Amino acid sequence: MINFETPNSIKDMVTMVQSVAENMMRPVSRYYDDQEHEVPWDYINFMHNALKQMEGVGGPNDSSGEAPKIQYQRLAVMIEILSWGDTGLYLSTPVGLLGAAAVRATGTDEQKKRFLSRILADKPVIDAMAMTEAHAGSEMPAQTRTTAVLDGDEWVLNGEKIFVTGGHKALVDTDGFVVVWATIDPSAGRAGVRPFVVEAGTPGCKVTKLEKKLGIRASDTASIVFQDCRIPFDNILGNPEIKQKTTKGFKGAMATFDASRPFVAASALGIARAALEFLKDKLAEENIEIRYGLSRALLTNMESEIIDMEVMLRSAWLLTLKSVWMMDEGIANTTEASMAKIRAGDVVVKITQKTLELLGPLGYSKEHLPEKWFRDAKINDLYEGTGQINRLIVARRILGYSRHELS
């Protein structure tokens, strides 16, 4: 029989994380939204120290220096709660997210040990992933123009990446790293794409722009230029063999998305839960009760709307839990990861929008956070593959079509 109870190992973590979300994130949520690009050092330093003691989400490191083990269900629960607190601040958590996901998906054991063990070491480290380029958008990484040329025992990178989540924090604010997807053979298309680790302080790597955004303002979104940027040969993730063209680099990018999309879904649902709980609290203050268990015909329109939102939220969360459970079990989750991302991206936009509608002027005012949650919501439908791209992935997997047959 399926058991939907939260495991005790996760329950123990929830109390601490919920306290952080309530007492450290919510009180400064509006401030960091207004002061875009100010680094939330108090939060970063606190979480760095807290996570070093927490099993299953990146720490603790053992004496051998091996890469910390990740329990994906545990991390998803933590992300949902932190995003309930503030999703922009969550994206500043030094826990190993997008760049680390690429290392885990494509790196060798030695590379995982070398790069991931740094994340919760002595100082906070932010990691990022640089994939998007201005000319392609959702067609990345197959149309990558950033190049990596082998020169002796070094790779030389040239090109520009845009919309790099946490790029400034990774390369400037902390001693972090960015995983850059570049091509070793532009004529080979996706077969030439490979991931490379570029560490903070590397000459030729420069953050050139910080985006001013609709939402997730506490998280920087950067443009990065690589100009004759030299990195060690073994900073190419995975097998360095380049004599034959393969699609392993591209498949590594897709495997990275399989790992990161469920976490985007979890973050989206934290925002959605925050909005729905705020709405219900305000209704309770006005003595408006949701009468569960009645026939649909006997409910008010508002009651029906709220029950529908609760159904959307819970169903999306179950999809997300399934996708991270599959990762924990070592089961391929491409379809489920995309399904969770699609559903959560839809749900968070619908719930935050409906919350504003039902609250009226109270929802639209900056006196409270629902309008911020509405702005934070939309990105979850866009990054890590838009809703449209993920729908194509699911359709191809279910119908058995190739990308050429269904696009």
Q: For residue 299, what are the domain limits?
A: 250-399
User: Which residues, listed in sequence order, are joined to residue 196 by a DSSP beta bridge?
Assistant: 180, 236
DSSP-derived secondary structure for 26-67: HHHHHHHHHSTT---HHHHHHHHHHHTT-TTBT----TT-PP
- In the annotation, is 384 catalytic? yes
Based on the fold, state whether residues 254 and 237 are members of the same structural domain: no
Based on the fold, state whether residues 151 and 184 are members of the same structural domain: yes
Residue 1 lies in a domain: no
**183 three-state secondary structure:** strand
Based on the fold, state whether residues 266 and 390 are members of the same structural domain: yes
Q: What is the CATH number of the domain that holds 89?
A: 1.10.540.10
Q: What is the pLDDT of residues 4-27, one digit of tens each?
A: 777 787 888 999 999 999 999 999
Is 0.85 surpassed by the pTM of this model?
Answer: yes
User: Which residues, listed in sequence order, are joined to residue 161 by a DSSP beta bridge?
Assistant: 224
Q: How far apart are CA 400 and CA 318, in angstroms?
A: 25
Which of 211, 246, 281 is the last residue before a domain boundary?
Answer: 246
Based on the fold, state whether residues 172 and 46 are members of the same structural domain: no
Q: How many structural domains compose the chain?
A: 3
Residues of the chain with pLDDT under 50: 1, 62-63
Q: Annotated catalytic residue: which of 160, 303, 336, 384?
A: 384
Check residue 18 and give its pLDDT.
97
Residue 404 lies in a domain: no
Residue 405 lies in a domain: no
Alpha helices in 243-359, H assignment, sequence order: 248-285, 301-328, 334-359
Q: What is the CATH number of the domain that holds 214?
A: 2.40.110.10
Based on the fold, state whether residues 347 and 262 are members of the same structural domain: yes
Task: Go through the chain and tell me how many residues it has.
Answer: 407
Based on the fold, state whether residues 217 and 154 are members of the same structural domain: yes
Q: What is the CATH number of the domain that holds 332?
A: 1.20.140.10
Q: How far apart are CA 106 and CA 350, in angstroms?
A: 35
Residue 283 lies in a domain: yes
Based on the fold, state whether residues 101 and 138 are members of the same structural domain: no
Based on the fold, state whether residues 196 and 259 are members of the same structural domain: no
Query: Tokens 């992300």 — which residue?
Result: 79
Q: What is the pLDDT of residues 346-364, one digit of tens each?
A: 999 999 999 999 999 999 9
Residue 407 lies in a domain: no
Check residue 229 and give its pLDDT.
98
Which of 213, 246, 279 is the last residue before a domain boundary?
Answer: 246
Which of 96, 116, 136 is the last residue before a domain boundary?
Answer: 116
Among 140, 156, 159, residue whose Cα is nearest residue 148: 156
Q: How far apart are CA 137 and CA 310, in angstroms?
A: 33
**70 three-state secondary structure:** strand
Residue 65 lies in a domain: yes
Check residue 54 and give its pLDDT.
85
Among 397, 238, 266, 406, residue whose Cα is nearest residue 332: 397
User: Which residues, listed in sequence order, are joined to residue 229 by a DSSP beta bridge?
Assistant: 157
Based on the fold, state whether residues 162 and 296 are members of the same structural domain: no
Based on the fold, state whether residues 131 and 103 are members of the same structural domain: no
DSSP symbol at 236: B
Check residue 357 and give its pLDDT.
96
Based on the fold, state whether residues 219 and 280 are members of the same structural domain: no
